Amino acid sequence: MLNGTTAEIVERKALRINAAKTCQPIGAMYASLGIHSCMPHSHGSQGCCSYHRSHLTRHFKEPVIATTSSFTEGASVFGGLANLTQALKNIFTIYNPDVVAVHTTCLSEVIGDDIPTIVKRAIEEGVVPPGKVVIHANTPSFVGSHIVGFANMVSAIIRYLSEKSGEVKNQINIIPGFVEPADMREFRRLTTLMKVPAVILPDTSGVLDGGLDGSYEMFPRGGTTLPEIRSTGDSMATLGFGHFTGHPGALTLETKHNVPAQLFELPIGVSATDELIQSLRAFAPDGAVHPAIEEERARVIDAISDMQQYYHNKRVAVAGDPDHVISIVRFLLELGMKPVYVITGSLGNHFEKRLHELLDPVVPDAKIKQQADFFELHQWIKNAPVDLIVANTYGKYIARVEDIPLVRVGFPILDRVGHRFYPTVGYMGALRLIDQITNALFDKKDRDCAEEWFELVQ
């Protein structure tokens, strides 16, 4: 518990307490799982791989497959060439995936293993069977967070696998950013309703939100297929969502194959979803918005206007991954709330710049910080409390000790269900967030209010 957190803030430079991020390979592993028939491979020691798999498993409540180069003292001194070569032999013999996506760890990065050279040698020695592919991304955790790891792996997938035939296909690419399988499913639903053929890359729906039908498949049905990935160079455009996790892939495709990149923030809330739908209209055969989508938007507007008196000027602390935090802040402002503390554990000047643009006109005294931690956020809250916290699971420690309602958004969510099944993006995602935020505020009031304020109807 955090009962010992003091209100007095001491300037710290070299110490993080309860960091609001995790390590690069977790993001790379998650992105790799969004390719169909792909084995994520961790080039490092077993401990890293076990931690990354278990962290993803705890969040998604699904088994997460990945292999490891199993470094021991020998590999740490002489390099991981022999380990990776043997690992590739074993992987193709035992599991037979179409793709092996290698990501590095701190140890192999410090050693300086040259993955492309090792893989090239493995191909020349016949270790990689014909038709099979090995790709790689460098993901040192001492530089960047899981957010950077995700973006690095998506860019690597595109660099290695996307092709251009010269003939433009009637399709767009969507790089959805580090979002839930349910969000990727929602992107698919919206593009289908708008009659816009789309390659979603990566796509973890059907992989990490699979059902139980009595049969076991080593590689689940979901995931972006190799032919789909190869075809991305022929698409009309790429829509990248999220400055940190969606834009780098879209820009890589633009650089490699001249596919025009359209860059958006994560479509969380009304205006950000409007931007997505507006963009899809340009590719829709009749340029029209499907009536079902218009109705969903109307329901969101109705819900906000019904409940706005409960949101007005409520002070909110937001913590999490930068793309999510930026879009959540946009949505909170749409609700009439006041995001007063906004942090991310990741690094990136765009985070502070964009949030100042959003908050300076309406909440000029808001505290905004990149590379921050939950300890500092807690200290801010101790000095001036908030009405609501929006954060990942780790926010619960502050929420409990300060008796503040918590809405869990982002990664990781280790202690609740629902995030796998219900989207946060799109108008349906906005409705779900409205539901969570409003009910969290009501639960707190029902718990703490004086008897004369205890209402049956809100």
Report the distance separating Cα 323 and Cα 349, nearest Å.
Answer: 12
What is the closest distance, in whole angstroms, from the C-beta atom of residue 141 to ligand SF4 in the complex?
A: 4
Contacts to ligand SF4 from residues 90-119, by CB under 6 A: 105-106
Residues 6 or more apart from 445 whose CB is under 8 A from it? Answer: 453
Cβ proximity to ligand SF4, 106 vs 317, nearer residue: 106
Give burial (CB, 10 Å; 0-12/13-18/19+) of 371. Answer: middle
In the bound state with ligand SF4, the residue whose beta carbon lies nearer, of 51 and 160, is 51
- Closest distance between ligand SF4 and the C-beta of residue 191, in Å? 35
The contact pattern for ligand SF4, residues 124-153, with x = CB under 6 A and - = no contact, is -----------------x------------
Nearer to ligand SF4, 67 or 232 (CB): 67
Cα angle for residues 325, 329, 331 (degrees, 5° grid): 120
Q: Minimal distance in Å, beta carbon 106 to ligand SF4? A: 3
- DSSP H helices in 360-421: 374-383, 396-402
Alpha carbon distances (Å) from 112 to 106, 108, 138, 172: 10, 6, 10, 37
User: In terms of CB distance, is 23 or 259 closer to ligand SF4?
Assistant: 23
Angle at 188 between CA 182 and CA 189, to 5 degrees: 85
Q: Which residues are catalytic?
A: 106, 110
Question: What CA–CA distance (Å, rounded) separates 176 from 348?
Answer: 19
100 and 91 Cβ atoms separated by less than 8 Å = yes
Which CB, 25 or 233, lies closer to ligand SF4?
A: 25
Q: Does 70 bind ligand SF4 (CB under 6 A)?
A: no
Instruction: Show contacts with ligand SF4 in window 394-433 (CB under 6 A).
Output: none
Which member of 21, 25, 237, 246 binds ligand SF4 (CB under 6 A)? 25
The single-letter DSSP state of residue 394 is: G
* CB-CB contact of 253 with 357 (8 Å): no
> Could you say which of 29, 31, 48, 102 contacts ligand SF4 (CB under 6 A)?
48
Q: What contacts 262, CB < 8 A, 6 or more positions away? A: 237, 238, 239, 240, 250, 279
Interface with ligand SF4 (CB under 6 A), residue from 51, 160, 310, 397: 51
Which residues on neighbouring strands pair with residue 264, listed in sequence order? 241
Q: Does 231 bind ligand SF4 (CB under 6 A)?
A: no
- Number of residues near ligand SF4 (by CB under 6 A): 7
- State the nearest-atom distance from the C-beta of 42 to ligand SF4, in Å: 8
Min dist. Cβ of residue 70 to ligand SF4 (A):
13
Does 23 engage in binding with ligand SF4 (CB under 6 A)? yes
Least separation, in Å, of the C-beta of 64 and ligand SF4?
A: 15
Spatial separation of the C-alpha atoms in residues 311 and 339, rounded to whole Å: 11
102 vs 398 by CB, closer to ligand SF4: 102
- Residues forming contacts to ligand SF4 in the complex (CB under 6 A) are 23, 25, 48, 51, 105-106, 141
